[in-house]
Structure 1
Amino acid sequence: MGSKSNVLKIRGLILVLTAAISWGGSGAVAQYLFKHQGISTEWLTVMRLLLAGILMLFFGYKREKQRIWEIWKDKRDRLELVLYGILGMLAVQYTYFKAIYHGNAATATVLQYLAPILVTGYLAIRSKQFPTVKKLFAMSLAVLGTFFLITKGNIHTLSISGGVLFWGLSSAFALTIYTIQPQKLLTKWGSSLIVGWGMVIGGIIFSFAYPPWRFEGQWSYSTSIAFLFITLFGTIIASYCYLQSLKYLSPSEASLLACVEPLSAVVLSVVWLHINFGLAEWIGTLCIMSTIFILSISNEKESQDR
């Protein structure tokens, strides 16, 4: 029995690490498209949302059949879904890509991972409960990590551009909305259906401002491979692997292991794209990643105590 349990744990571990590395890798690949191929963030955002969303709904239809249309019959669910598509899915994709464009995938991904702290703060305010000592410590680590990341430890200088700081923090706020807002929809309809529709809605809305046929940049064989990687591995396969991992791992275990995402984004950006990432940035990254570990352990203990 124990052997079977270990096999299932290993399966879950492989799935969640595949998801995290694919997510982190897609950030580095997006940086390559922006910096070396001249692809616009707007075009990549709208194409990723539309193509990945349509593919996810196609696979969802194969499994759910007519159920994928039923969500539109409920007025409240319909409104929630549209809001999620715009304020959650579209916002988190666009702000993340803009942060990469103004800086690099490493810094953008690490800044985005401030979202768990924002989620914790929001839930504490909503429940009118003061955060525990562990959560306060995690918040302090996040602040310290951000300080090292954006100043390199020198309070008198800003080591990153105002653009990457603004869009990186915006991405963290967008990820907070993305995490909190669709909870009821996810429980009722399932993640693949909600994520698929969210992408399609976000892509359609964004198309009015930036039509998908308005291409900017240089198209080549490497551009095609990079775009397919972001769409397939960095979106569909990553989402599928993460959701499948929840069958074998607890949510806290999965979210803890998913913190490999910023680490993989940093390593790929340093090794492949040769960005300058010094000791202060590594300290900041480890501080922010530590907050995920602390919050995961804290949340798991709270769920066990209930």
Structure 2
Amino acid sequence: MHLFFRDRMKGIAMVLVGASLWGISGTVAQALFHREGIHADWLVTVRLLCSGLVLLIWASLNKQKIWAVWRSLRDAGQILCFGLIGLLGVQYTYFISIEAGNATTATLLQYLGPAFITLYVALRLKRWPQRKDVAALALALLGTFLLVTNGSLKGLTVPVPAVVWGLLSALTAAFYTVYPSEMIRRWGSMTTIGWGMLIGGLGMGLFSPPWTIRDAHLSVHSLLLVAFVVLFGTLISFYLYIDSLRYLSPAEVGVLGSAEPLSAAVMSVIWLHHVPGLFEMIGGISIMATVAILSSKKNERKVITVTQKGI
């Protein structure tokens, strides 16, 4: 019993730290965009390339067959689709949303991904959503409205591009959460996400190579912030999140993952002095409650998976 309790506490600590690092990295990215003059496309290229290479090396050292994904045209097509549409799509839309607005709003909007997955499942199975699904979707809509308007009918309190890119990040997050499940079963999460990140980084690098940077001067301070996004906001957080699944169920990890938007909000207040309004906070809580409701369902426990946390 003591060992079981200790393992559960270890798992809870790991997912809370991992999710918090993701949230903090979003705030760090906001500082890079708004204070250091770094552009989102360049940061996406660097983050994906560095993280993908390290994950593949890590997977190889753990005896995973990292080259198995290229043994057939079908497998190659799947991993290319996952990398270019899934991982690059969610990374780019998420960071552009931060660049146009702020990390807290972008992170919370991306948390609408499970609601889109619920709609997708209902359409694919050709069945009406259950009552709990409908309640969660209504809560998600209410939360989104309050988040972007602060409860006012006069207009948005968040820039329109930030809202559009944030919703697109939720859609792409839903896609890359659902799409790679077969690949992860066959090749493992590190190999699948490692190749996805590397491919996404190469794709973004065609438009924004890592050796070119526009309208910004890389200082020691900005390089340290970039290193934090790559090391702590991606690699360490990913490891903690995936390893926590040894001690906790996916549903529990999904609910505890709500520490991500909370940490982004707290860091935004402390570091960037962005204080959300009352209705914005209520909207954020509503969106996180949506994730908790959907994660508690047996049929929806794949909604929050390790693939969603490649971000």
- Taking structure 2 as the reference length, the TM-score comes to 0.94
- Counterpart of 1:267 in structure 2 is 266
1:209 match: 207
How many corresponding residue pairs?
Answer: 301
Distance 1:205 1:135, change over 3 A: same
Question: How far is the alpha carbon of 1:156 from its aligned partner?
Answer: 2.6
Task: Determine the C-alpha separation between the residues in 1 that align with 2:218 and 2:152.
Answer: 41
Whole-Å Cα distance in 2 between the matches of residues 148 and 265 of structure 1? Answer: 18
Task: For 1:201-280, list aligned pairs within 5 A.
Answer: 201-216=199-214, 217-280=216-279
Aligned with residue 89 of structure 2, among 72, 88, 91 = 91
Match of 2:157 in 1: 159
Q: State the secondary structure of the residue aligned to 1:92.
A: helix
Kindly report which structure 2 residues correspond to 1:19-38, keeping only aligned pairs within 5 A, or say none. 19-38=18-37
Q: Is the 8 A contact 2:118 2:300 kept in 1?
A: no
Higher mean C-alpha deviation, range 253-262 or range 290-299: 290-299
Aligned to 1:72: 70
In the alignment, what sits opposite 1:9? 8
Could you say which residue in structure 1 is the equivalent of 2:309? Answer: none
Q: CA deviation at 1:135?
A: 1.2
Any idea what the Cα deviations from partners look like across 1:89-112, whole Å, max 9, x if unmatched?
Answer: 001011000000000000100111
Distance 2:301 2:62 in 1: 35
Q: Deviations over 1:137-195 (max 9, x none)?
A: 01100000001011111123111111101111011011011101111001111100001
One-letter amino acid of the counterpart of residue 76, structure 2: R
* Deviation for aligned residue 1:301: 9.2
> Matched residues in 1 for 2:173 and 2:286: separation?
19
> In the TM superposition, what whole-angstrom CA distance separates every residue of 1:235-273 from its partner, at most 9, and x where no partner exists?
111111111011100010011101111111111111110
For residues 133 and 298 of structure 1, the distance between their equivalents in structure 2, rounded to whole angstroms, comes to 12
Q: Which moved more, 1:104-113 or 1:222-231?
A: 222-231
Instruction: Find the aligned partners of 2:136 and 2:74 in 1 and give their Cα distance.
Output: 36
CA positional deviation for 1:276: 3.2
Pairwise CA distance, 1:300 = 7.0
1:129 offset after TM fit, Å? 2.2
User: What residue number does 2:175 align with?
Assistant: 177
Q: Whole-Å Cα distance in 2 between the matches of residues 255 and 225 of structure 1?
A: 30
**Separation in structure 2 between the aligned mates of residue 53 and residue 292 of structure 1, nearest angstrom:** 28
Residue 302 of structure 1 deviates from its aligned partner by: 8.4
Which residue of structure 1 aligns with residue 306 of structure 2? none
Superposed CA offset, 1:21-62 (max 9, x none): 010011000001001100011110001110111111111111
8 Å contact kept, 1:252–1:300: no
**Superposition deviation, residue 74 in structure 1:** 2.3
More displaced stretch, 148-157 vs 27-36: 148-157
More helix by proportion, 1 or 2?
Answer: 1
Q: Answer yes or no: is the 8 Å Cα contact 2:113–2:171 preserved in 1.
A: yes
Determine if contact 2:139/2:286 at 8 Å carries over to the other structure: yes
Give the Cα–Cα distance (whole angstroms) in 2 for the partners of residues 198 and 300 of structure 1.
26
The residue identity in structure 2 corresponding to 1:166 is V
Per the normalisation by structure 1, the TM-score is 0.95
The answer as to whether partners of 1:105 and 1:269 remain within 8 angstroms in 2 is yes
User: Structure 2: 5+ residue runs without aligned partners?
Assistant: 303-311
Q: CA RMSD in A?
A: 1.4
TM-superposed deviation, 1:299: 2.9
What percent identity do the matched residue pairs reach? 42
- 1:109-124 alignment, distance < 5 Å: 109-124=107-122
SS at match of 1:209: coil
Please give the alpha-carbon distance, in whole angstroms, between the structure 2 residues aligned to 1:181 and 1:114: 17
Q: Kindly provide the CA deviation profile for residues 113-139 of structure 1, in whole angstroms up to 9, marking residues without a partner as x.
A: 000100111011111222111111011
1:127-146 correspondence to structure 2 within 5 Å: 127-146=125-144
2:116 aligned partner, one-letter code: L
User: Is the partner of 1:247 in helix, strand or coil?
Assistant: coil
The question of whether the paired residues in 1 share the 8 Å contact of 2:251 and 2:296 is answered with: yes
